Amino acid sequence: MKIKLKSNHTEEEKILASSPWIKSEGLLPHRIVLRLTGKAHKAKYNDETIVEFVIHTEVQNDVAHGYDSTYFTQGDYTYSVRDAWAIFCERSNDLMEKAHKNPNSYKLADAEELEVSNV
């Protein structure tokens, strides 16, 4: 699998997969994302370019409840596509399981409510 990188990727263009946004009392809206870090290097034994992946929790900033920007936290970094997907699936499933087991505490957030274009 080859992935071409551009030097002018925006943060949104680097996102390869995301879980739904989740809201919970006392926590800002958040989701799990799998994205490219933009870092790449040549493999030791051939000319292939190896890219780095990161699995983050993306959190909506609470700017007077406008949620106009996000930040990333709790990153797991890997150069393996297989590991990246496994970590993403595990973390996304954990988040969705919390929402399913605690429907009064965790809710799926509506895109209109968050007013973000990257949902």
78: in domain: yes
List, in order, residues 6 or more apart from 110 with CB less than 8 Å away. Answer: none
- What average pLDDT does this structure show over 33-51? 81
Q: 57: which strand partners?
A: 32, 73
- Examine residue 16 and state whether it is found in any structural domain, yes or no: yes
Phi and psi based region of residue 89 (left: phi greater than 0; alpha: psi -120 to 50; beta: remaining): alpha
- Residue 99 covered by a domain: yes
pLDDT in tens, 50-66: 888 999 998 888 765 56
Greater pLDDT, 66 or 32: 32
Tokens 């925006």 belong to 10
- The tens digit of pLDDT for each residue in 107-119 reads 777 655 554 444 3
Percentage of the chain exceeding pLDDT 70: 76
Asked whether residue 5 is assigned to any structural domain, the reply reads no
Q: Is residue 106 part of a domain?
A: yes
Would you give the DSSP letter of residue 27?
E
- Does residue 91 lie in a domain region? yes
d(CA 92, CA 33): 8
Kindly report the pTM of this predicted structure: 0.71
Domain that holds residue 42: 11-114
- Distances in whole angstroms, Cα of residue 96 to Cα of each of 19, 31, 58, 90: 8, 10, 15, 10
Counted domains in the chain: 1
